[in-house]
């Protein structure tokens, strides 16, 4: 079970410290050496104390990044068998057990900072010489010596003999080396005379303040699973990053915390908001308690994003519209580009972003024009770099002065009057009119002025000039006078029928005339003439379409008919999408006595709702009815008598949505309910 090779794994310093400990034990309790067993120790941070099988270490040694310990032999055996956590000369212990072993009062802080309950020799009740050497060797020997049970005699005798022989072998081997070293020192002293004698005195003089530095050379490694975000690659930022690796060797973490330890890297910090592996050099040669160089590799992400990696070519998008070329207008244009890179979009919202070197012009001609500029993010908080950008822009202000103005060769337009709505409709019906002219005619602030106040109602054709002033509109500028041929005649409303089902859905409580008028006024893109007729006397608004109150959109045909108005004839039909503002639950009830029974102990509203929820698990109820039950204003009652005999009885439940904002009607459900 025991191998003396474990002892040979210790460095010379630890072997020397171990020899001192053996001598101390031999002087006080010679029989204790035969009761101890030397084993490797593996400390599992995630292990529980129960997995330790009550094994308590006598002494813990930390050497060459490994842990060793002395244990009572009796404590390692249960029913003449090694305990399960002893494998291949190694004892597997939890961190909790190690903390309990190091039970000195001043150990708490070291446990917190290093995640390992190491106890320095200065904290142990040993001799002054032993304390000094243990401190000098950087806490190589840790633990607390406690009185062992002197009656522990049930360990294997052969194992005791082998262990004692192994310990004697180590002590003799160390003694030989010490004798050899002493002979060499005597020869050196004899050769150098007085100077050698002085050196001998210096070497034999106690140096209680000397420190043996811990070498961190082998403590580095690669930690791909760890990631940190830093501003730059300065020493302080790199320290912050490496200290986030919780599994680093405690000595290395302590070395990094030393202000004299320098961290650097040859890798370039990539400002792309993506983690990249970075190798960080750690130089602890100037540290107080540490020495050596090592490297730690981990994923590093830059806090800032370099926008210069992004494309500045926005010419492949639909040309946006704007009226001016300045920082505010260009940022607004860029923010409106669909699927704009999220990092650039966020950078544009930083108050310190700058739009520089704006070049180009956007005449008011409705055509696209190339504009170039520079996006400078170097003064922002989270971004840096510049983008040389270009984009096609259209002036939001379109000058109508250059549009076609003569439409006298087109077919004659019929008008009943020259009011604003009639003039708008006249322009919209011009077959050769460009879209810009039709659009500006419908602008709220456009001024339309006819050359004469009215057209005689004699059926004759007249030349009419209409002056369009767009200078007060948002998207247009300039004036234009168009020439058209018109005559006064009755207008056939059938020519104004429209399919507006592609417009946004309209919600109305019903399809009464007033509700249909409200729907047409809100749906959008209704012919202006029809909108002007909606509230006029003699206009009949109706529909033959079904309008279920089920909360689902329905296609509704609205008929507009003029009765007793001589200038109009026929009927216009407008198709729109409508849905009811309330959902009628009346038809959502029914008889469900074939399911169940369900359980209930009274007829309170909460119980009845619970009963309905039980029924829904047996057979799905209407989704609208279930949603109505969740409305806080729903009323659920029953007129049935409740019988508490644990037998099923028919219960008629009434669900009244009169007080709810989204539902209407009364639903009745018949079911079987029994008390529990």
pLDDT tops 60 at residue 206:
no
Q: How confident is the model at residue 139 (pLDDT cuts 50, 70, 90)?
A: very low
Phi/psi of residue 618, nearest 5 degrees: -85, -40
Q: Which residues contact 517 (CB under 8 A, 6 or more apart)?
A: 534, 535, 541
pLDDT tops 80 at residue 161:
no
- Please tell me whether the peptide bond between 532 and the residue prior to it is cis, using omega within 30 degrees of 0: no
Count Cβ atoms within 10 A of the Cβ of residue 382 and give its class: 0-12 exposed, 13-18 middle, 19 or more buried: middle
pLDDT tops 50 at residue 157:
no
Q: Which residues of 526-550 are buried (b: 16+ CB within 10 A; e: fewer)?
A: bbbbbebbbeeeebebebeeebebb
pLDDT for 162 equals 55
Cβ atoms of 477 and 493 within 8 Å: the answer is no
Pairwise CA distance, residues 423 & 476, whole Å: 18
Annotated domain spans of the chain: 4-103, 215-303, 313-396, 406-489, 493-581, 590-675
Q: How confident is the model at residue 167 (pLDDT cuts 50, 70, 90)?
A: low
pLDDT for 211 equals 66
Place of tokens 């811990």: 214
Ramachandran bin of 157, using left for φ above 0, alpha for ψ from -120 to 50, beta for the remaining angles:
alpha
CB atoms within 10 A of CB 462: 16
In sequence order, the β-bridge partners of residue 571 are 561
Cβ atoms of 624 and 663 within 8 Å: the answer is yes
Fold: same for 313-396 and 493-581: yes
pLDDT for 553 equals 92
Phi/psi of residue 170, nearest 5 degrees: -65, -45
pLDDT for 567 equals 77
Count the residues in the chain.
676
SS3 385: coil
Phi/psi of residue 50, nearest 5 degrees: -65, -30
Cβ atoms of 410 and 437 within 8 Å: the answer is no
Query: What average pLDDT score do residues 348-362 get?
Result: 94
pLDDT tops 60 at residue 116:
no
pTM equals 0.35
Tokens of 152: 């522990």
Q: 259-274, pLDDT tens digit by residue?
A: 999 999 999 999 988 9
SS3 643: coil
Where is average pLDDT lowest: 39-53, 100-114, 513-527, 551-565? 100-114
Q: 603-627, pLDDT tens digit by residue?
A: 999 999 999 999 999 999 998 899 8
Q: How far is CA 392 from the centre of its chain?
A: 35
Tokens of 541: 């608004």
Pairwise CA distance, residues 307 & 302, whole Å: 13
Query: What average pLDDT score do residues 392-406 get?
Result: 90
Query: What average pLDDT score do residues 632-644 get?
Result: 92
Q: 320-341, pLDDT tens digit by residue?
A: 988 889 999 999 999 999 999 9
pLDDT for 483 equals 96
pLDDT tops 70 at residue 70:
yes
Half-sphere exposure of 101 (CA within 13 A, CB side): 28
The mean of the pLDDT values for the chain is: 83
Cβ atoms of 379 and 457 within 8 Å: the answer is no
Per DSSP, 108 falls in state H
pLDDT tops 80 at residue 96:
no
Query: If we measure between CA atoms, which residue out of 86, 59, 198, 79 comes closest to residue 141?
Result: 59
Tokens of 542: 């109706």
Where is average pLDDT lowest: 43-52, 133-142, 466-475, 548-557? 133-142
Query: If we measure between CA atoms, which residue out of 300, 130, 319 comes closest to residue 208?
Result: 130
- The CATH number of domain 493-581, selected from 1.20.1440, 1.10.10, 3.40.50, 2.60.40: 2.60.40
The CATH fold of domain 313-396: Immunoglobulin-like (2.60.40)
Alpha helices in 296-400 (DSSP H): 327-335, 342-348
pLDDT tops 90 at residue 470:
yes
Helices 235-242, 250-257: inter-axial angle, 10-degree rounding: 160
Beta strands in 305-446 (DSSP E): 305-306, 321-322, 354-359, 368-376, 383-384, 386-395, 398-399, 413-414
- Terminal CA-to-CA distance of the chain, rounded, Å? 67
pLDDT for 165 equals 53
Q: 539-572, pLDDT tens digit by residue?
A: 899 999 999 988 889 999 999 998 878 878 789 9
Phi/psi of residue 230, nearest 5 degrees: -130, 160
Pairwise CA distance, residues 285 & 280, whole Å: 16
SS3 293: strand
Name the residue with higher pLDDT: 368 or 23: 368
């Amino acid at each position: 079970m025991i191998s003396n090779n474990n002892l040979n794994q210790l460095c010379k310093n630890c072997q020397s410290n171990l020899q001192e400990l053996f001598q101390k034990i031999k002087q006080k309790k010679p029989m204790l050496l035969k009761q101890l067993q030397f084993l490797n120790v593996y400390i599992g941070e995630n292990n529980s104390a129960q997995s330790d099988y009550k094994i308590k270490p006598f002494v813990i040694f930390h050497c060459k990044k490994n842990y060793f310990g002395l244990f009572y032999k009796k404590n390692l055996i249960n029913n003449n068998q090694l305990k399960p956590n002893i494998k291949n000369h190694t004892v597997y212990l939890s961190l909790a057990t190690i903390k309990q072993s190091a039970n000195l009062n001043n150990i708490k802080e070291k446990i917190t900072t290093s995640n390992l309950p190491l106890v320095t020799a200065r904290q142990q009740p040993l001799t002054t010489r032993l304390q000094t050497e243990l401190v000098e060797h950087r806490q190589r020997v840790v633990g607390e010596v406690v009185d062992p049970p002197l009656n522990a005699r049930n360990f294997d005798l052969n194992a005791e003999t082998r262990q004692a022989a192994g310990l004697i072998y180590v002590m003799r081997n160390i003694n030989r080396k010490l004798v050899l070293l002493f002979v060499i020192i005597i020869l050196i002293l004899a050769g150098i005379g007085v100077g050698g004698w002085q050196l001998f005195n210096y070497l034999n003089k106690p140096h209680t303040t000397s420190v043996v530095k811990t070498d961190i050379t082998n403590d580095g490694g690669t930690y791909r699973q760890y990631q940190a975000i830093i501003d730059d690659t300065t020493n302080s930022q790199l320290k912050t990053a490496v200290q986030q690796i919780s599994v680093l060797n405690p000595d290395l973490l302590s070395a990094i915390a030393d202000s004299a330890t320098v961290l650097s890297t040859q890798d370039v910090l990539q400002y792309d908001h993506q983690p990249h592996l970075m190798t960080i050099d750690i130089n602890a040669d100037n540290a107080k308690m540490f020495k050596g160089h090592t490297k730690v590799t981990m994923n590093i992400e830059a806090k800032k994003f370099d926008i210069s990696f992004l494309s500045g070519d926005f010419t492949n998008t639909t040309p946006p519209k704007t009226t001016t070329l300045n920082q505010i207008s260009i940022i607004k244009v860029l923010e409106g580009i669909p699927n704009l890179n999220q990092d650039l979009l966020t950078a544009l919202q930083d108050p310190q972003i700058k739009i520089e070197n704006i070049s180009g012009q956007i005449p008011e001609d409705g055509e696209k024009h190339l504009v170039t500029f520079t996006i400078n993010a170097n003064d922002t908080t989270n971004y840096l770099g510049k983008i040389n950008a270009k984009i096609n822009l259209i002036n939001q202000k379109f000058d109508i002065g250059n549009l076609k103005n003569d439409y006298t060769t087109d077919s004659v337009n019929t008008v009943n009057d020259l009011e604003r709505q009639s003039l708008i409709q006249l322009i919209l019906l011009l077959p050769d009119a460009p879209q810009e002219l039709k659009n500006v005619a419908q602008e709220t602030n456009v001024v339309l002025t006819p050359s004469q106040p009215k057209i005689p109602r004699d059926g004759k054709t007249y030349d009419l000039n209409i002056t369009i002033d767009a200078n007060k509109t948002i998207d247009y500028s300039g004036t234009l006078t168009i020439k058209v041929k018109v005559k006064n005649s009755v207008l056939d409303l059938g020519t104004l029928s429209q399919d507006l089902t592609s417009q946004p859905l309209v919600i109305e409580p019903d399809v009464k005339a007033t509700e249909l008028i409200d729907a047409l006024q809100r749906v959008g893109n209704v012919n202006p003439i029809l909108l002007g007729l909606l509230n006029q006397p003699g206009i009949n608004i109706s529909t033959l379409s079904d309008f279920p109150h089920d909360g689902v959109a329905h296609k509704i045909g609205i008929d507009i008919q003029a009765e007793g108005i001589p200038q109009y004839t026929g009927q216009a039909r407008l198709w729109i999408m409508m849905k009811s503002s309330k959902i009628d639950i009346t038809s959502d009830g029914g008889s469900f006595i074939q399911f169940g029974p369900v359980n209930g102990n009274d007829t309170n509203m909460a119980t009845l709702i619970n009963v309905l929820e039980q029924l829904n698990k047996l057979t799905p109820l209407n989704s609208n009815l279930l949603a109505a039950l969740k409305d806080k204003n729903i009323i659920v009652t029953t007129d049935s008598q409740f019988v508490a005999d644990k037998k099923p009885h028919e219960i008629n439940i009434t669900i009244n949505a009169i007080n709810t904002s989204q539902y209407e009607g009364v639903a009745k459900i018949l079911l079987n309910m029994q008390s529990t």
